[in-house]
Amino acid sequence: MSQGLLGRQINGIWHTSVVVYGEEFYYGGMGIESCRPCGTILGPPDERLELGETEIPSEMFYEYLAQLGESKFLPQKYSLFDHNCNNFSAEAAQFLTGKGIPEYITNLPSDVLSTPFGQMIKGLIENVQVSPGQGQTARHF
């Protein structure tokens, strides 16, 4: 379907999160949140990517999330195309492992927006708030 609308194949519209220390951390219209793994209303993931191991202590990561939650990843800064869960996952993964997430995920919004159809739909859906944490949210950061 994407080939006909966008002129290129898009294999998915990705929601990402980071699972570490027995919790799933994600960003959406409610800010940074966490829950038990696969505990969001989105259910289990279609795909899991191993990004590596971390030597960052959990308390240091929680402090980092609190800082991000008060600055860069505030709820009101969420934008489906420009500042979303994938940006958060990339930054959290970089902090934890020194590696980000795959570019086919982080580049998806710009790939879509580079098409005439993408520009047309941007105005229709740019204010959509995605809040996967309406399931079993443990805490907000």
pLDDT of residue 7: 73
Ranges under pLDDT 70 in the chain: 1, 126-139
Residue 7 lies in a domain: no
Q: Which residue of the set 35, 38, 85, 140 is catalytic?
A: 85
Residue 9 lies in a domain: no
Residue 131 lies in a domain: yes
Helix (H, G, I), strand (E, B) or coil at 123: helix
Is residue 85 flagged as an active site residue? Answer: yes
Helix ranges, 42-83 (H) = 58-69
Is residue 140 flagged as an active site residue? Answer: no
pLDDT of residue 84: 95
pLDDT of residue 49: 95
Instruction: Give pTM, 2 decimals.
Output: 0.85
pLDDT of residue 33: 95
> Which H or E element spans position 35?
strand 31-35
pLDDT of residue 91: 98
Domain that holds residue 64: 14-140
Q: With beta carbons less than 8 A apart as the criterion, state whether 26 and 138 touch.
A: no
Q: Which residue of the set 15, 35, 38, 140 is catalytic?
A: 15
Domain count, the chain: 1
